[in-house]
Structure 1
Amino acid sequence: MLPIAVFPAAALLMGIGYALEESGMENLYFMAMILQKTGNVIISQMPMIFAIGVAYELSDDKSGLAACNGLLCFLIITSLLSVSNVSFLEDTLSFRVDEAFGNINNQFIGILSGLLAAFSYRRKHVSTNYLPADFRVLVYTSIFAMLCSIVLYIVWPLIFTLLISIGTMIKDMGPLGAGIYAFLNRLLVPLGLHHMLNSIFWFDVIGINDIGNYWAGTGIRGVTGMYQAGYYPIMMFGVVAMALAMYQCCFITRKKKMKPFFVSSAIASFLTGVTEPLEFSFMFLSPLLYVMHALLTGISVFMAASLQYIAGFSFSAGAIDFVLASSLPMAVKPYMLFVQGGLFFVIYYVLFRLMIKKFDLCTPGRENDQNEPFQEGSIAAEDLNEMAKVIIEGCGGAENIIAIHSCITRLHITLKDQDKFVFKRIRQNGAAGYLKTKEEIQIVYGAHVDAIMDVLKNYQL
């Protein structure tokens, strides 16, 4: 979660900046530029942030040294495979160096660098009489980064050539091809290769240039923009529903902590179309859900292209771009994308909530922590959740509770009807005793009472 947590805020900064710029108020241009540039610095350096954050999170002691080595590994790989370093072989290679390696700075390389650095850091405990532990980690990281660069030097052009072939193949398939493209686009996000695929359809790589023709008004009305329009229902509605479903499926002990992340991710996606913060938070935890998300994206793009609901974008499919693009000559029934968006909101919410609950899928806020104590010498988070439910039931239900607070060792609960209070069940769940007064009921839990109170707050009593 560490690298992902910063991205929603960056997307919001960019969105607010673009909104201020389009307001037409000259005295706000400077502030708009600051917000845009600040957000863009974070978003554009997403791969590097992943390299640092993944290495830090996966090190066995959350080490700053591991984070630094993640950065080192990333810099070695991206430097060795930069266009300038590879281009001297251009005459002997069968691919376009600038296009194949021009996007080597991507999220996949960032995550891979973090993994290599974390693995190298864990090797520091291997004893040797020749090198100090910290220096040994540096050596391991450098060696792994160089070996990885050699492998990528061979594999990366093959992947690029394959994507070009796929783009050429589905170019003439019309709306179906647009849907296939969108499906593959989401599937390639974890590898950072979606930018390569996007360039084929959005820019003038094989003659499509969907974004350029849309904004220039030089395309075919009803066709130009079909590789873009179907993203609006997903990014403005589907991803928001996804965030809502995941939040509601969080363990009750995690809801308070996860709420800011889900809210900011949903707002960022709706306003700016930046979905990576939420997508990267669950794509590796629950690949099944992510594949379903990719499939729904493909269906949405196919549907919009088939029905000729067209609106392009310049940055991504968020509300800000929609306002700017929906009035252009190439736009066709852009308002219908909101109708389609409402449909996909319902589909996303129902499917995600159903699958998470039915198959007990791991999503942010539902990570398995049964082996981790909620606090030292305390109770597991799931047990606290069950304890809170029992307390509410023993007090006659949530509707019977007027107020609740805690002191050092006790819960103080004010009830509408004290006759509905049943201590027998509560005692079986860990309570040491209780004291009943005219004003309230005090349940004794000891040192765990603060943890229990934190869980009860999530029930909004």
Structure 2
Amino acid sequence: MKERAMEAMQRFSKAMFIPVLILPIAGILIALGNVFTNQRLLDAVPFLDNPILTGFGSILSGSLVAILGNLGLIFCVGITVGLAKKEKSVAGFTALLGYLVFVNAMNKFMELAGLLAEADAMQSTGQKLVLGVQILDMGVFLGLILGVITAAVHNRFIETELKGAFQIYGGSRFVFIVLIPVVILLAVSLTYIWPFFQSGINSLGELIQRSGNFGLFLYGALERLLIPTGLHHLVYTPFLYTSLGGVQEVGGQVFEGARNIYYAEIANPSVTRLSESVIWDARGISKMFGLIGACLAMYHTAKPENKKKAKAILIPVAFTSFLAGVTEPIEFSFMFVAPLLFVVHAALAGLSFVTLNLLDVRAIGPNGMIDFLLYNLPLGIEKTSWPMYIVVGLIFFAIYYGVFRFLIVKFNFKTIGREDADQETKMYSKKEYKEKKSNDNEEGAQPGDGLANVIVGALGGKDNIKTVTNCYTRLRLTVDKPDAVDEAILKNETGANGVIIKDKNVQVVYGLEVNNIRRQVDNYLGIQSDD
């Protein structure tokens, strides 16, 4: 039972990546549109003040803000595609149809039951317009619920075949036929049930808000502590896209969730300062600064004869963390050899949220420096206080360095460069990894076959692998026999930064190379990648 529950949570977490990783692109483009409509910038650079550029900026920001009003639909399709086991594109189309059926079914039932509120009272009664149709305001939760249900129906009935004259209604058509009554019944039942859930969510949100800095600390620490399980996305996503992260009216429209709110505020030139809810997405201090200090500490405490090797390993992963916010390669370098360091790292990450909040910093910093600059520079200092974010980051760089160096020396942790003579470093640099791929290709194999062969072999062979997917940094698999997985080969011969085995779920951390590695493994196994 526990094994199945963990597997379900990990599959759901993987499915969340589809919408979650796409939405920040919309935010960056909204910020870019704001550059061309920022009056202060136009006054400083007069040649930008022309109808073509300002019109382009207005269109870019205005069109992408519409995404924020339809997150339920986006998550519904994304979750369904992520959870579907076969024919993912068909599943996504079915999810779209199911969403439309649900919205209109709830509207018609509420109309028949006399539950629809007047236009000026919609907000106070928890109702809103979704795709132009008035229903209960369920926000992203509607997409999550419908996505899970649609995927379950799709996986159960996609291979159903009918006979005779009804043969044409088999497969994907039968899925939709089954889905219609399910969705209609769900719409009717949620009309009465959802207000109780919404009340509970609101109460939880109020409790978290009242917890103040303690709540921020727990949020930041827990988000890091769940990294080994791959479930950390389940911590921050509700705060970014639901009322747990705040409710704010921007330009006459109500937005829920930290990221939705500040996207709307970015696009609205009348907003002079981002609201306090942006703090829930300020996860970048440890990524851009803290872990870089940790890397420097690991380098300085490495054995003299291993410093060159430690530098070759630590510089690429530190650079990736600083620029793109990908932290797993660093975290996995000390997570298992020194768990205390990882606990300290999580605590310091939580403390960074508290520090930013106490200093009233409103800068946007969820990932690395690239995102940080694209978001904050166009908005200006007054709106974000972004220079203070840098100051806080430098302080945490020093704290991480000092704490990590002290603990590594005090407890003689075997971090990078401090291994015993009979031990090998647990992490490969990007240069070494590319050299290995090049050597594999020179041996006559097709590009990627050598590496894929090693990976598949270390996972117990083709017959042991049941499913292959990936997220932003990890190759995620389910296997028949977890005992057949050889962690040493995955780490030492394929460049994996870490391996996590939980029941029949296996996660192999490769960093930003994972998409290419996933394609190579799929090609080797003779299956078609369906991202």
TM-score, structure 2 length as denominator?
Answer: 0.44
TM-score, structure 1 length as denominator?
Answer: 0.50
